[in-house]
Amino acid sequence: MSLRLLVVDDEQLARTRLCNLLADCSQPQTRVVGEAANAVDAMAFLQHHEVDAVLLDIHMPGLNGLGLARTLRSLPHPVAVVFITAYAEHAVQAFELEAVDYLTKPVRLERLQAALQKIERLAQTNKGLEPDFSQDVLVITERFRTERVPLSEVIYLKAELKYITVRTVAHSYILEGALGELETQYSSRFIRIHRNALVARQAIRALEKHHDAEEGEGWAVRLDGVPELLFVSRRQLASVRALLSS
């Protein structure tokens, strides 16, 4: 499935940068079918073309992005909206308008790709299809190397300060981001076992008594493919037991 996108921003340079970034997104595949510099041009385009989503700036002359999003909601076949703006203060209004996501400039590739994956799942759901998570990837940049790590290979995600350790059988990566955001996006794949850890549901092999230097006596999960045990908080213990017994 290739997502059809309309890019709306009053700055030509901003549209070009976003289109170039979209060209680097391979999961899911995308196709920019149109560009518009204002709300009037965007609505004129949508009268004659079908799109899956509008990538929308907020501060534009005439009707701004929030106003355009309200108009889009009244269409017979509403389209998904992702706001891409330099201003963070409009996020609450954006989500009140049921925006799929809200990205601040400069946009990072991994955040853009995560937003596109949300759009893809929404489009699949609207078409009565089961969302396909098999092609989801995390885009990880370390020093001078950028790598796409398939989510199907991730054993666990563990937060440390503002970074997340992404653990696969073969390697550990460092990803900048929020654990809660990944939990929301991939709740069907991962289960939270601790305030700082998400574990792939299918990777949990056993629940064992464990002593942790920081947590004390308690329980930990043993995982397929990696030697380390991960501590389970008391709050999450019941959900882990329920998963193992299901």
CATH of the domain at 162: 2.40.50.1020
In a domain, 10, yes or no: yes
pTM of the model: 0.55
Q: Which domain holds residue 225?
A: 154-245
In a domain, 91, yes or no: yes
Question: Is residue 119 located within the same domain as residue 230?
Answer: no
Quick one: pLDDT at residue 127? 59
Question: Is residue 24 located within the same domain as residue 107?
Answer: yes
Question: Is residue 10 located within the same domain as residue 90?
Answer: yes
Question: Is residue 10 located within the same domain as residue 116?
Answer: yes
Can you give the length of the chain in residues? 246
Quick one: pLDDT at residue 122? 77
In a domain, 118, yes or no: yes
Question: Is residue 6 located within the same domain as residue 48?
Answer: yes
Quick one: pLDDT at residue 68? 95
Question: Is residue 87 located within the same domain as residue 162?
Answer: no
In a domain, 16, yes or no: yes
In a domain, 42, yes or no: yes
Write the burial class of residue 58 (CB in 10 Å: 0-12 exposed, 13-18 middle, 19+ buried): buried
DSSP the chain: -EEEEEEE-S-HHHHHHHHHHHHT--SSEEEEEEEESSHHHHHHHHTT---SEEEE-S--SSS-HHHHHHHHHTSSS--EEEEEES-STTHHHHHHTT-SEEEESSPPHHHHHHHHHHHHHHHHHHTTPPP--TT-EEEEEETTEEEEEEGGGEEEEEEETTEEEEEESS-EEEEES-HHHHHHHTTTTEEEEETTEEEEGGGEEEEEEEEETTTEEEEEEEETT----EEE-HHHHHHHHHHHH-
Quick one: pLDDT at residue 206? 94
Quick one: pLDDT at residue 1? 60
Question: Is residue 35 located within the same domain as residue 111?
Answer: yes
In a domain, 94, yes or no: yes
Quick one: pLDDT at residue 43? 95
The CATH number assigned to the domain holding 6 equals 3.40.50.2300
Question: Is residue 39 located within the same domain as residue 119?
Answer: yes
Counted domains in the chain: 2
In a domain, 135, yes or no: no
In a domain, 134, yes or no: no
Question: Is residue 25 located within the same domain as residue 115?
Answer: yes
Quick one: pLDDT at residue 13? 96
Quick one: pLDDT at residue 245? 87
Q: Which residue positions in the chain have pLDDT lower than 70?
A: 1, 124-135, 143-145
Question: Is residue 105 located within the same domain as residue 162?
Answer: no
Question: Is residue 106 located within the same domain as residue 184?
Answer: no
